[in-house]
Structure 1
Amino acid sequence: MTGRNWFRRDVIIPLLFLGGFGYGLYFVWQKILEQPDLSDNRFLSYLLIACLAVYILLAFVTLRHAAASYSLERFNPGNPQSINRLMRMRRFGLSRQIAARMRNWAAPAEEISQWLSANNYKPAARTPHGRVFEKTRLFRLPGQPRHCDRIFLLEHDLLNVLVVDQLLRDSIKYIRQRTDAPSPRNLLILVMDRDDKVEAASAAAGVVNFLGKFDGGTLGAMLLDIRHGRLYYPIDRSLQPRSHRRFQDLMRLRLLHYLSKSPQQVRKPVQPTPVNQALIRSFKPMTRQSDHTEENDRD
């Protein structure tokens, strides 16, 4: 992904080649039509039709590449213009009904916990900011531990891009430590309720820029901005397997479907999700250097 630059060689040069090829094909076609002997040649007619089909396919691929190149922007949390573009992107906006409904939630994380439990995800660990849910897969390879799909549900109202990056790293570290329950497909759901829209979008840049691929699996990410009614997720997932991208898309669509339900279905008395004590595992985020500094200052 690159920054926003409208004059890019990797886009302009293919468009110039496409235009030159199209003009050359049109020129040859016109010359053939001017010659009666050539215009009646069936072989040339089939050849020109084949060239036209190839040109249409080439135009589709080139235009798709150009559109993707301009849409895959790497947002800079320290650049106000970049953050403003992120805040204006419609793909992350939720409907007004969903936004109003979420703002009435007394405990957003508990609401989403109920949704995960309804989809057969079991609480497996507690974290300082939320819980880890797991769903065991039906099949496993002989002699191998059974794989699972793992979802991290964390709530943090003081998120910034550094905290988001730290939570992503902590989640990947936890995934690698759980050799007893490997999870190639993982998802991190961050819930945030922050007044400042710019600061919320700046924190979301860490999610939107996240590629999600690491050695041993993938980690999808979503940031649910309760106060401003937006759901952020990574734009560029080209490094991830297609099946993992489908898993993330399916979970995002299911979450949106849950959020779009009528108030009578969604608004229920919030009950803490029961946790099987036998499944509780410690998930301690890595201590940042600033934390050590504060402890030394106290001493």
Structure 2
Amino acid sequence: METVLLVLDESGAKGYDNNKEQHQGEFGVMAGFALPESKAEAFVSGLSDIVQSFATDGKLHITDLEPEAQETLRQRLFEYFSECRALWFYEAVYVQGFHEAHGRGKQLVEEALGARRSAVKLSSNPTKESLHGELFLGAFGSGLALTMDYIGSPVHLKVLTDRVDAPLLKKFEAQAGQLLNVGQPDRTEVTGFDTEKKEIVRGAIETSVVSGHDALGDFSGITYEIECDDNLLTLAADVLANSVHHHLKQIQDNTPGASLNSPEAIHGHPLQHLVYGAPAGAGSVNVADTIYRHPNSRKESGANDG
């Protein structure tokens, strides 16, 4: 079974759904690239040749570099990506869109709980959803699709990210498992309190997707692992993610709330010719741009409809 490395890093916002945007159009990005493990040694050797002239004491401290040196490093890395024809992908989500979408969902849950007439009271403590986790889900999904398109199944995905804390790593693993097991029953343990019997009761809710999941593909031959590391591969992903964030941020000056995951959005990026996953053509949509779109885009859409 072939192993493919999915190297990911994030840039920009990465909080929870209770956070509102700190400035108009604030968003987070996760970007990455796919690399067959059989080609990793040669690819890393090329990265080393580029980076060594910027390193001190054998390590690269990119934040310590002067702006001019940082730009030179970016250009050399982008040239290397082009030479290697390294396909890459990204996912971007607006903070305010993420906040409002989950707010609407929580409101519906509260209304449903309020309408219940059972003696058993269920916990109504809302959970906080992670923007960082959502970015990972989108990027992992793009990396998975790229791998299926160019390599096929069976395949083992080895996800490499920079170092994150244990709870977030657990979230990443849950997101990856959720995507790969789409269509399988999802069981959630539920705890409540019976006000008549004065006792805690426990149960479970099981949900299933009965149709539509076949369109996503057959993931039965896909296995995966997630590894946190700080190396030349994650450095390249870091530079890539920061460049995408910088590029998309410039769009906000002219078109606040514009779609972030589209060919128009990424147009003009030095590596736009190698990006994978941005939908193109009439009727094509991106989940993040649809569910988590910025309120400004909804207002403009309403005005245009009128």
Pairwise TM-score range, normalised by the shorter structure: under 0.3
TM-score by length of 2: 0.27
Relative to total residues, which structure has the larger helix share, 1 or 2? 1
Q: Which has the higher contact order (CA 8 A, sep 6+)?
A: 2
